[in-house]
C-alpha cells in the first residue's frame, strides 16, 4: 500500500480494516485446520490403541468397561469443547463401524440434517462396499 494510494484518513481506515479482516480470516482458517488435525490425530491414536488391544468394532469397545473408561479420559484431555468430543467420537465410529452400523448412522444424520457428516459416512460406506465387491470378484487370469 503506497502513500499516494490513500487520499483521506477514512480511506486509510477502510483499507486497514479490509487487510485486518483478511488476516483474521486466515488465522481462523489455519486454526480450524490445526483443530481438524488435532481431532483426527486423537481419533487415529485411539483407534490404534483399540486395535493393539484386539478391539476392532464400536460394539466391542462399548462392551469393555476398562477400555471405554480409558478412551473417555483420552477424549476428555484432548477435546476443548463438547463439539470436539462429538467429532472425535464420530471419527472413531466411522472407522469402527460395519456397513449396517454406518447405514444406521447415516439415517440418524439425515434426520438431524447434518449433511456434511452424511457425506463422510456415505463415502465410507461406498469404500467398504467397493472393497467387499473386490473381495468377491473371481480371478479371471487376465
Task: Give me the mean pLDDT over the 123-142 stretch.
Answer: 68
81: left (phi over 0), alpha (psi -120 to 50) or beta: beta
Stated as kind and residue range, the H or E segment containing 117 is helix 115-136
- The answer to whether residue 135 scores a pLDDT higher than 60 is no
Q: How far is 15 from 18, CA to CA, in rounded Å? A: 5
Tens digits of residue pLDDT in 82-114: 999 999 999 999 999 999 999 999 999 999 999
What residue spans define the domains of the chain? Answer: 9-136
Q: What is the pLDDT of residue 142?
A: 46
- The answer to whether residue 138 scores a pLDDT higher than 60 is no
Tens digits of residue pLDDT in 33-80: 577 788 998 999 999 988 988 999 988 988 988 888 888 888 988 888
C-alpha cell at 3: 502513500
Number of CB atoms found within 10 A of residue 33's CB: 10
Q: Would you call 6 exposed, middle or buried from its count of C-beta atoms within 10 A (0-12, 13-18, 19+)? A: middle
Amino acid at each position: 500500500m503506497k502513500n499516494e494510494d490513500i487520499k483521506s484518513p477514512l480511506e486509510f481506515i477502510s483499507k486497514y480494516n479490509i487487510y485486518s479482516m483478511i488476516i483474521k480470516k486466515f488465522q481462523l482458517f489455519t486454526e480450524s485446520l490445526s483443530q481438524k488435525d488435532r481431532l483426527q490425530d486423537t481419533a487415529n491414536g485411539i483407534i490404534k490403541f483399540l486395535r493393539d488391544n484386539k478391539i476392532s468394532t464400536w460394539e466391542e469397545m462399548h462392551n469393555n468397561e476398562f477400555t471405554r473408561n480409558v478412551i473417555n479420559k483420552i477424549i476428555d484431555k484432548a477435546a476443548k469443547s463438547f463439539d470436539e468430543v462429538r467429532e472425535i467420537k464420530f471419527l472413531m465410529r466411522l472407522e469402527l463401524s460395519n456397513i449396517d452400523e454406518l447405514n444406521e448412522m447415516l439415517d440418524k444424520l439425515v434426520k438431524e440434517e447434518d449433511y456434511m457428516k452424511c457425506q463422510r459416512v456415505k463415502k465410507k460406506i461406498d469404500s467398504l462396499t467397493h472393497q467387499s465387491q473386490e473381495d468377491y470378484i473371481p480371478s479371471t487370469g487376465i
